[in-house]
Amino acid sequence: MRFGVPTSKDPKAQKALKSAGEIPRHIAIIMDGNGRWAKRRGMPRIAGHTEGVESVRDIVEACGQLGVQYLTLYAFSTENWKRPKDEVSLLMRLLLKALQDETDRLHTNNVRIRTIGDIAALPTEVREELAEDIRKTQNNTGLTLTLALSYSGRWDLTQAVKRLAAEVAGGSLLPAEISDGTISRYLSTEGTPDPDLLIRTSGEFRISNFLLWQLAYSEIYITPKFWPGFRRDELYAAIQDYQKRERRFGMVSEQLPSGGGEGNPVQRFIKSVTGP
Ligand code: FPP
């Protein structure tokens, strides 16, 4: 990857991480603590969000370099609309500026941009910029960066149920035909494997209405670091922790193979529960 210049020890750290174990295919992040980061420094909340964008830049770059295939960032939740009007509008402006500043570089680095959420609720300028950025990067084959915007897990399940119900009412789908896989296909994350690793910053032990269905088997990593202080070294620590976990998907240790491989039954099972 030809992202910015990594620190001299960085390629070494990345190489060590890659040879130590599996790099998660899909990482999802609840970026929390921007406000508290700023407050601790006697700064306005928006300063925390601005510094948070720097963390986004660093984490996207490091994920691309590590070969993570999917990164999903909880950038703005359905509930975030309830924040003071000024903060919401500053967040939207910050998002717009970050997209305008970064998309060309992301495109050069083969990153595909996607969104999940109630995009129609976003300001027109943001919607137009996103549509253009998604179109521009749609054929890229490197990291898929999904921005969850005006998103919540309950919103996602509700829109999926509405569409499923319409199909049943129209007679094109029988209730008996509905399986796990059918529901996954109606969610906004359709076509994306479920997250292997969920990271939450700022020390809160909550899922906060993020990917409620998709996180069923994800490993969870919680760090006390506030999001603006979460940079690539913290990401590496999270992946190291993930590499020590034993993912059993409801089975017992003895059923797990010591080696991987697409052909073995556990690998096939993992694929069947986490998606394509
Ligand atoms: C949580 O901190 C953070 C957010 C609600 C917004 C995250 C947005 C960004 C990092 C900037 C734009 C994003 C992209 C993808 C360019 P908080 O405000 O809830 O912090 P607090 O819990 O300490 O109050």
Nearest to 113 by CA among 126, 131, 100, 96: 131
Nearest to 40 by CA among 232, 234, 231, 228: 228
With 50 as the cut, is the pLDDT of residue 261 above it?
no
> Best mutation site among 30, 32, 150, 208 for ligand 1, i.e. most ligand atoms within 8 A of its Cβ?
32
Q: Does ligand 1 lie within 6 Å of residue 31's CB atom?
A: yes
Q: Residue 117: pLDDT band by 50, 70, 90 thresholds? A: very high
Which percentage of the chain shows pLDDT scores above 70? 90
What contacts 197, CB < 8 A, 6 or more positions away?
A: 24, 26, 27, 28, 218, 219, 220, 221, 238, 239, 242
Tokens representing 8 are: 């001299």
Q: Which stretch of 2-6, 225-229, 248-252 has the lowest confidence by average pLDDT? A: 2-6
**pLDDT value, residue 247:** 75
Q: Does ligand 1 lie within 6 Å of residue 157's CB atom?
A: no
* Straight-line distance from the first to the last Cα atom of the chain, in angstroms, rounded to the nearest whole number: 25
With 80 as the cut, is the pLDDT of residue 156 above it?
yes
Q: What is the mean pLDDT of the chain?
A: 92
Judge whether 86 counts as a catalytic residue. no
Residue 211 phi, psi (nearest 5): -80, 75
Among protein residues, the one whose CA lies closest to atom 6 of ligand 1: 75
Closest atom of ligand 1 to CA, residue 147: 15
Judge whether 80 counts as a catalytic residue. yes
Q: Does ligand 1 lie within 6 Å of residue 275's CB atom?
A: no
> Best mutation site among 49, 50, 86, 209 for ligand 1, i.e. most ligand atoms within 8 A of its Cβ?
49
Query: What's the topology of domain 10-157+193-245?
Result: Undecaprenyl pyrophosphate synthetase (3.40.1180)
Evaluated on CA atoms 174, 178, 184, 185, the torsion sign reads negative
Tokens representing 86 are: 């000024």
Task: Report pLDDT digits (tens) over 15-55.
Answer: 999 999 999 999 999 999 999 999 999 999 999 999 999 99
User: What's the whole-model pTM score?
Assistant: 0.91
Q: Residue 4: pLDDT band by 50, 70, 90 thresholds? A: low
Q: Does ligand 1 lie within 6 Å of residue 33's CB atom?
A: yes
Are the C-beta atoms of 142 and 64 separated by less than 8 Å? yes
Q: Residue 1: pLDDT band by 50, 70, 90 thresholds? A: very low
**pLDDT value, residue 70:** 98
Q: Residue 266: pLDDT band by 50, 70, 90 thresholds? A: low
Tokens representing 140 are: 């890229």
With 60 as the cut, is the pLDDT of residue 262 above it?
no
- Tell me the residue ranges of DSSP E strands in the chain: 26-30, 70-77, 112-116, 144-151, 197-200, 219-222
**pLDDT value, residue 85:** 97
Q: Residue 85 Cα, ligand 1 centroid: separation in angstroms?
A: 15
Among 10, 80, 110, 241, the active-site one is: 80
**pLDDT value, residue 33:** 98
Element (H, E) at 192: none
Q: Residue 156 Cα, ligand 1 centroid: separation in angstroms?
A: 20
Rounded mean pLDDT of 236-245? 96
Domain boundaries, the chain: 10-157+193-245
